[in-house]
Structure 1
């Protein structure tokens, strides 16, 4: 989809953040880059031009992108390339697990491109990545940020059988913008993925990006829908337009609006909410798990799958 060119709004003061490597961190961003490059793996940190790359990598954490770096869908907000994908690499699950072990990660996020051209949408391969990572890293908690797999029950069951600790699937935006922003995705499918994940006993998580033209009332309706589906963890962040070929940035959302939405979500029954201009679905991902495990009693729908 081609978007009409327009001059984006000037960034307000709260968005003028200097992203830098934290030199006091025990693992430097350069160390992470070396390990990832040496493994031949991809990270969504780089492929999606995440604004928090320096911060997270300097802390020795990364979100791994499996099943290649070419996506079969063209979402207006995403900087991952859309192209004919290459064949899946059967060595990737083991290489991923070994890289996680070499980095000594306590919490790892595994995400992927969409592979709609495959009969199982890549769910078998994705599940193998989870299984191998858990096998070689029994002390590491595993979070997945997965595609919708077209909401096929058999594909979702493969992920459930692999038993990650947290299942994240991002709704991304409000229903009225789906046709424009993510035309190959389906709002009902996303809610179904989240509902099935919660009903299967997993801690379900989702994320939204703001500034694409949605209204706050629409965002609150999505938050309510997600909670009804059983979602307990939520991230809300600011959309940043990667290039002029992507969906235009319509507005910067004020910090107080993020606070309003966080308060609303907590009142709806979410147990953990990250909301702010630079929040991304994998930003401080391990903090949510720490929060849950430090609460009074470990949540049954998390520990039953560990």
Structure 2
């Protein structure tokens, strides 16, 4: 299926891109920008921003849409990773840092302790920097979730990714109800919460609206809606492209549900304009 004219992203090149690349290599850090083949990498890295991916580069799940490598990680979590992430945040002079991870179902806490350590180290190294975490579901281990909540990130993000009907195909290791419960618990703890869905996997319009409503009913504050782009022929097929006008209509629909902030567009991803979504002052 040929890409429409509105799916255009900046090529990954330029001085800013090279600078971020060198920093990540030098500190032995991963980014979801690279590992998940994000179309916005050229734009974000040239602006000096990146989304850090902790806990290695091998995911224990195999979601049908995702370009990240899958399998059984060969190494345990790196105890020095949080310090290196904080170092990168300081060197990049970030005002808003986004931390995500692979799933680490091989770890007792799913990697929650490393998330918490990253939040603490960034706060210690770069006071005033907002910290957003995009976390996995920890297989419904709410004790692990509490470890992250206790570190008080400025935004706690957990993506539902798609409509419930498609979970078995798109996210076979996840459960929609589990993701909603994670969001509910995080909101009940007083955190600013966020989730995201992608379109083009075979959902219909009513399902998208119902999913946005269910996420909002879980207390979620921020919603991102973007276009699924097939990473390779080995991944789930793209069923259709949504137009910019359709994304605009979904944004208005979601705002009417009571979300405080909605990003909706073909190239929107979880950390798209993330720095604009946290209250300051």
Q: Give 1:304's aligned residue.
A: none
- The equivalent position to 1:10 in structure 2, one of 2, 11, 25, is 2
Q: Give 1:244's aligned residue.
A: 233
- The equivalent position to 1:45 in structure 2, one of 5, 21, 33, is 33
SS of the residue corresponding to residue 19 of structure 1 reads: coil
Shift of 1:195: 0.5
2:93 is the counterpart of 1:93: no
- The equivalent position to 1:198 in structure 2, one of 177, 187, 211, is 187
* Distance change >3 Å, CA 165–CA 18, structure 1 → 2: closer
Shift of 1:170: 0.2
**Alignment TM-score, normalising by the size of structure 2:** 0.97
Inter-partner Cα distance in structure 2 for 1:232 and 1:139: 22
2:52 is the counterpart of 1:61: no
SS of the residue corresponding to residue 134 of structure 1 reads: helix
Give the 5 Å matches for 1:59-208.
Answer: 59-85=47-73, 86-208=75-197
Query: Please, which runs of 5 or more residues in structure 1 have no aligned partner?
Result: 1-8, 299-306
- The equivalent position to 2:220 in structure 1, one of 214, 225, 231, is 231
Shift of 1:151: 2.3
Inter-partner Cα distance in structure 1 for 2:45 and 2:9: 15
Q: Over the residues paired in the alignment, what is the CA RMSD in angstroms?
A: 1.3
SS of the residue corresponding to residue 38 of structure 2 reads: coil
Query: Please, which runs of 5 or more residues in structure 2 have no aligned partner?
Result: none
Q: Report how many aligned residue pairs link the two structures.
A: 280
2:258 is the counterpart of 1:269: yes
Maintained 8 Å contact 1:101/1:136: yes
SS of the residue corresponding to residue 28 of structure 1 reads: helix
Q: Which runs of 4+ in 1 moved over 3 A?
A: 20-23
Inter-partner Cα distance in structure 2 for 1:96 and 1:10: 38
249-258 vs 122-131, which deviates more? 122-131
* Distance change >3 Å, CA 18–CA 89, structure 1 → 2: closer
